Amino acid sequence: MSTSDDLVDEAVDPWPLPGQPKPRGKGSDVTHSVQIRDVRKSFGSFHVLTGLNLNFADNAITTILGPSGTGKSVLLKHIVGLLEPDHGEVVVFGQNIWNVSERERQEIRKRFGVLFQDGALFGSMNIFDNVAFPLRKHTDKSESEIRKIVMARLDEVGLTRAVNKTPGEVSGGMKKRAGFARALVLNPSVVMFDEPDSGLDPVRTSLLNDLILKLHAEYGGTYVLVTHDIRTARKVSDYVGVLWKGKLIHYGETEEAFNSDMPFVRQFLSGDSAGPLGMD
């Protein structure tokens, strides 16, 4: 019988990913604007990423699952260039982001949109100004151009009536939608979601998932979600990757993941108490 450590040690990191499947309805050629190559990251004696390899398919939604503390949020911070790996490469749009200047890295970051767990909105700004912030900071657009773009994004997420409200005056779901609008306002090539369903009830989680699917279908792009919500993963994903102890132990199309015979993947996606994942 395999132990939990056996499962991690035996996992084959897919670099390059052999026979990688095509995104649902996205065409025949799969390209990868974001590539993680043998990335390792430790904080003191705590080894978070222990040799991670992963290609994120363009124009598809990839969900990363795994227990708490297994490196999911740390992975996102590596992708956007907020953390430098101890070893390995983070290749974004064909460039190792740690082989370029800080100025070039900042330019790369402008092509990312990020939705944080709590929306990360500025409490002193109303919803309109929160969404307008990236445009004012990173472009030279006029206020009339900014208003047109912001109102279009707020209309897409159903917040046109909340433009003058502050984050403290709206619900958690509305904060998430405002954060989503802000993440999209610069027309990013890559959008990352760090537990977008955190703190939402099942109905609002489902509505947010519908919004993610709707906007991705309309604009495309590389979407990367980190979540603990299995229903979210099943509903929105083209691909599912499962992290455990800093390694990718499964990667494939959504239904392939949910039909996996790997003990840890099967246990985690079904929520069973019996299996290699325990309380430690």
Report pLDDT digits (tens) over 159-180: 999 999 999 999 888 898 999 9
Domain contains 53 = yes
Question: Which regions of the chain does DSSP assign to beta strands (E)?
Answer: 34-43, 46-56, 61-65, 87-92, 95-96, 112-115, 190-194, 222-226, 239-244, 247-253
Q: Residue 15's closest CA among 233, 247, 257?
A: 247
Query: Residue 251: inside a domain, yes or no?
Result: yes
Instruction: Tell me whether residue 175 is in a domain.
Output: no
Handedness of CA 202, 193, 148, 126 (dihedral sign): positive
DSSP SS3 for 191? strand
Residue 88 located in a structural domain = yes
Asked whether the predicted pLDDT for residue 24 surpasses 60, the reply is: no
**What are the residues whose beta carbons fall under 8 Å from the beta carbon of 21, sequence distance 6 or more?**
239, 252, 253, 256
Angle at the Cα of 120 (from 119 to 124), degrees rounded to 5?
Answer: 115
Residue ranges making up the domain that contains 12: 1-19+31-108+225-270
- CATH code of residue 248: 3.40.50.300
Residue 155 lies in a domain: no
Q: What would the mean pLDDT of 107-128 be, rounded to a whole number?
A: 86
How many domains does the chain divide into?
A: 1
Entry pTM: 0.83
For residue 25, tell me if it sits in a domain. Answer: no
Q: How far apart are CA 125 and CA 135, in angstroms?
A: 15
Determine, yes or no, domain membership for 244.
yes
Number of residues that make up the chain: 280
* 55: in domain: yes
- Is residue 56 over pLDDT 60? yes
